[in-house]
Structure 1
Amino acid sequence: MSTEKQLYTVSIYTENNIGLLNRISAIFQRRHINIESLNTSPSEIEGVSRFTVVVKMTEENMKKIIGQIEKQIEVIKAFYHNDEETIYQESCIFKMKSDLLFDERQIQNIIKESNARIVTVNKDFFVIEKSGKKEEIELLYRELSVFGIMQFTRSGRISVTKEEMKISTLLETYNN
């Protein structure tokens, strides 16, 4: 077991109950672990939510945290995976002044080269959407910031595992 800190993606399958997010984040907070990214969404099973949390820590501490998370009554199962075991993406949107789109030829090249896309344009602003790895989004941010970004937001990580997660049969019995 590695004693060196690395990024882990934690997948927590839960009932959708009020207050659970606070209790889960408190587990990390008590150990002084910063949450790098957080996303909540419905899971592949009806009535079951999935929290996707990205944290940097040792595997030994990760196992302890998983145990604490699974003690929460509403938690059905929690898993952790490193980056090599997952396929993951983040999304972001940029709002920029419309005249840049027409006056700065380089903007269109940046959008094209980064595989971003324009989702809306009006007389005052345009909006660019980009999905990809965190590093790709950070690169696009640096390239666009030279021209002035009016607004920017980035999602938390979303991910699936490369190997089958043995949650499916567990969740099927949960729903019956």
Structure 2
Amino acid sequence: MNPLKEEHTLSVYTENMVGLLNKISIIFSRRKINLESVNTSPSEIENIYRFTIVVNETPEVVKNLVRQIEKIVDVFKVYSNVNDEIIYQQMALYKVPTSVIMKDVKVERLLREYGANTVVIREDYTVFEVTGQKEEINKLLKELDKYGLIEFVRSSRIAIIKSSEGVHKKVLNMEKNDPRKSPINNEFLSLKSKIFQM
């Protein structure tokens, strides 16, 4: 029996972002794997960046992906987690006609129920922001569509690994062992092997 596909969130720690997204994308495109979501941001330590990538695949396929991504020179470490191992959120913006909100009490109640915050109010439209998980965001999208929704956009996923201590502690420990050296400025391969040995 083939293992079932499920959502996996990859947290990719990297030294340098220039051209890196292209290198990572090639790994996925060669295997014909669709990226559900991609987010890039600074991590908890200066000069180390974090890609958060969501894929819907089997554990075996994801395991191979992780191995391939870690072979990229600029990548320190890749963590793979299923949804119950992370805390994750997305943000969405909804543009709704202001006239509908003013006239229909149901819309106002609906927005309150989903914890929507007002971003912009104009005569012709109002923009609301909601933070939550994809299912909640999509449910509100369907509801607001009944009331003349003008525009909608959803961000990529951001996630924190429940069991992870991040990279900050590992880098600080390395500095403590050798205070003369800045780990970020060391030869990259040396840093990669010292910090992220499993």
State the TM-score, normalizing by the size of structure 1: 0.93
**Runs of 4+ with >4 A deviation:** none
Q: 1:16 offset after TM fit, Å?
A: 2.8
Amino acid at match of 1:107: V
Residue equivalent to 2:195: none
1:21-170 alignment to 2 at 5 Å? 21-165=21-165, 167-170=167-170
Q: 1:5 offset after TM fit, Å?
A: 1.3
Q: How many residues align?
A: 175
**1:9 paired to 2:18:** no
Q: Does structure 2 retain, via aligned residues, the 8 Å contact 1:77–1:167?
A: no
Name stretches of at least 5 consecutive residues in structure 1 with no aligned partner. Answer: none
- CA distances 1:51-81 after superposition (whole Å, capped 9, x unpaired): 0000011111111111110111111111100
Q: Which has the higher strand share?
A: 1
* RMSD across aligned positions (CA): 1.6
Amino acid at match of 1:149: L
Amino acid at match of 2:158: I
CA–CA separation in structure 2 for the residues paired with 1:20 and 1:164: 23
Q: Percent identity?
A: 40
Aligned counterpart for 1:175 among listed residues 151, 163, 184: 184
CA–CA separation in structure 1 for the residues paired with 2:100 and 2:76: 49
State the TM-score, normalizing by the size of structure 2: 0.83
Structure with higher Rg: it is: 2
